[in-house]
Structure 1
């Protein structure tokens, strides 16, 4: 939502109520080739106030996306952004406002990584502002390599801010969160046909245009699609396909290589290790929504029944504080300890207040696994925190001895957190939307955790021409 910044008010004035620039339309256009997507988001806002305004707009984006174009247009005037160092850009923006000029500033939220903020200065009364944002992003391979998933985030959930011990608005604004909004969205996406068997969307009804020779065209099948959930598009891959895909564009090319099971087995050293399984469970108040804590209980019981013999485990619940089932970092998985864990899981509730994820991770970092053990951390959360960067920095420091297998629960978890936890530790992530069976996700994550991790992969190829 594009929010009007509050003006300065005198001491005897009544507090000014938040005002919002009406969002007139949103359109998403995407081009997908293998594991890469080029996405353009077009939005139209209108200032219905009687005076020019400065507005702030926050929008979510995939954490590994790279924004390469930002265009703002009012009437026939079009402004295309230049890339500048953050402090310099902020200084020039403020100077333009002081001189009464229109100005536009696009910057990334440093703490969350998956939010961008647009400042629109001096938007005239009665005028529309057309915003165009283009970015490229890498897509995720899911379901054991059977599908590629394209995601367009559209919602920002309330994020817990540890420094304030409470919920904070995105990107330092004072905007209020709402459960629903009247906005609608339109989408058209072109998907290259190479290695693709079919397309589906677990989030929205879609229709498919097969008339083009080289790509499919995907659109929403409903005229009024509300902007109330992330857009998910699953690209199902052919069973018999090459594990190397080459895409060539003018002045650039992309190669995607997916190792298969045989490739991985050849790279393993067959070193025997004992596994530790640590479950970090979000029991903050937000987990009550959408029965997320219910999904956690189901998942934990499945995990508990599936752990291998002679392994070690522990359960750590966290909210405003964290509580470990056992005093030691991990204990042997046996009948006695398994019963204690089952009793805890059955009574697990979302009753621990805020979402302080950093402290339980610090505690584990202070108690590393013993020699000869490999630690697998399963982290179940709705991911609604604001200090994502700080958490991920800590996880990277633990990555030599621990891998994190993260679960994002609900409609709008912080994708940068859930994905970043796994990527920073060579683990794996998954997202469990509402009204979904959890057994498949649990089985896949546990299967991956029992496999060895392959790092420092080196790929060599010979090109027929010289590339500079």
Structure 2
């Protein structure tokens, strides 16, 4: 979304928000192992009769890192530099006051999957070409059998509890426009190693099979609109190793994906009583795309699948929150299961706003008892503005609580849904409209009941001093992936063919891999 900044040095008071038409968008991506390198190019034109200051908001995948930002107007080219935020903002304002073109790229602090470009002074009748490149880890889905590459192409209106209503991204006051007046070009190369098939559940695609080492994927239809996220599913070979490496000069990435047998070999079989708390978004936005229907369907399946002697509760939330039981959890028996089923069948999107923080604060104030493991299942479209505040609270609960988050609909907040799971060592899943929830409910419940492999150690045999990341290795579950990195002190160092990586815990060796493909 590109708009004319109303409080800029060029603007006058406008009764309605004005937009600058975006003429063209293209996405080029290269996928190797479990990582993607993507470049988004945008062209937009100032059709006004005077210079404007333009602001553009765009969504980017959570866990992505931008490494290049280039803007061009006529023969001028601006290449971004990384600077401290306040320093960058001051330099940007100074440049505008002098009538120079200036560009400012920031992350939306309250909703981490939105970035903001202040394009600066754009002369009348001129086009601005912007190119943004980023790298991102890719998610495992379908019980670890597929990798999913996502390019978010829509920004849902985020609910801001401080304002009591829907706000547009980046704090604009404009009404959200559902239908984008421009189209997108998409081209993606997927390296064939360990890959058996590529498909898309979001858009018709065509795949070129002629190249020896890569699949080339493009849209099958020319007039594809920016009305939904691009989802590309990459199916893995069934006979692959549980440890895979990718290497570049100065860096190695290793992914470890244990199967059920791997976990069984090293898991602690300590018996615990499980608590299951279901937190269901009943805000007004859940009416769209029948997201509340997906939540009802998922809840009915959960209620039929809970283990005996567990404890549970259901919390509906919107502008307020309401719990099925007054105590934090109740025993799962026939009587309580009937109450829960009755409530589930009556679920409606009738609680106005999306204030997730309050029910989570209520849960945090009632910690689980001794010998109990608490699992929270959150079903939401994630349309909130205070993402960081919610994540900070959940991070403080992580020693006793895991969150399994379900992002419903075409455009949930990926930073919220993923962040809740990652900060609590839980898991997440995204469920588009008109899809079955059965497999997702079963997978998430199975993962909630799993023990995990802990105390993992990574041993690098690379012939050089390296820095390993992350420094603290999180628990890993069956058919879920752990990614670790080794970074050489010399970024141009070339690793040899005898290089390898080994993963162990205090009980046994978990996996290993040798580096057998060295890039030129």
TM-score between the two structures when normalised by the length of structure 1: 0.97
CA distance in 2, matches of 1:252, 1:129: 35
Retained in 2: the 8 A contact 1:69–1:135?
Answer: yes
Kindly provide the CA deviation profile for residues 417-456 of structure 1, in whole angstroms up to 9, marking residues without a partner as x: 0111111111111111011111111111111111113444
Check if 1:221 corresponds to 2:253.
Answer: no
Q: For residue 425 of structure 1, what is the aligned residue in structure 2?
A: 424
Q: How far did residue 391 of structure 1 move?
A: 0.5
Aligned to 2:264: 265
Structure-2 residue corresponding to 1:6: 6
Matched, 1:61 2:60: yes
Task: State the Cα deviation string for residues 303-347 of structure 1 (Å, max 9, x = none).
Answer: 101100010000000000110100111110001111111111111
The change in CA–CA distance for 1:99 and 1:266 in structure 2 (over 3 A counts) is: same
* Alpha-carbon distance in structure 1 between the residues aligned to 2:319 and 2:16: 31
Aligned CA distance change for structure 1 residues 466 and 390 (closer, same or farther; 3 Å): closer
| C-alpha separation in 2, matches of 1:223 and 1:288 | 31
User: 1:464 deviation in Å?
Assistant: 4.9
Q: Deviations over 1:111-133 (max 9, x none)?
A: 11100000011101111000000
Write out aligned runs for 1:184-263 (5 A): 184-263=183-262
Residue equivalent to 1:111: 110
In the alignment, the residues of structure 1 paired with residue 253 and residue 64 of structure 2 have an alpha-carbon distance, to the nearest angstrom, of 16
Tell whether the 8 Å contact from 1:426 to 1:453 is kept in structure 2 after alignment: no
> Residues 297 and 346 of structure 1 are in contact (CA less than 8 Å); yes or no, is this contact kept in structure 2?
yes
Query: Equivalences for 1:32-431 in 2 at 5 Å?
Result: 32-431=31-430
Q: Which runs of 5+ in 1 are unaligned?
A: none
Return the alpha-carbon distance in structure 2 between the equivalents of residues 378 and 164 of structure 1: 27
CA distance in 2, matches of 1:311, 1:7: 56
Aligned length: 465
> What is the SS of the residue equivalent to 2:287?
helix
Deviation at 1:458, TM superposition (A): 1.9
Residues 268 and 451, structure 2, Cα contact 8 Å, conserved in 1: no
In structure 1, the partner of 2:500 is none
CA distance in 2, matches of 1:144, 1:164: 40
* 1:43-69: CA deviation from partner (whole Å, max 9, x where unpaired): 001001011110100000112100010
- Residue in 1 that maps onto 2:507: none
Which aligned runs of 4 or more in structure 1 are off by greater than 4 angstroms? 464-467
Rounded to whole Å, the distance in 2 between the matches of 1:153 and 1:14 is 33
Please, which runs of 5 or more residues in structure 2 have no aligned partner?
Answer: 467-487, 489-520
2:513 equivalent in structure 1? none
Contact 1:279 1:316 in 2 (8 A): yes
Quick check: 1:3–1:175 contact (8 Å CA) kept in 2? no
Distance 2:464 2:351 in 1: 61
CA–CA distance in structure 2, aligned partners of residues 357 and 27 of structure 1: 35
| Partner Cα separation in structure 2 for residue 465 and residue 366 of structure 1 | 48
TM-score, structure 2 normalization: 0.87
Deviations 1:24-53 (A, max 9, x none): 100000010111100100000100101111
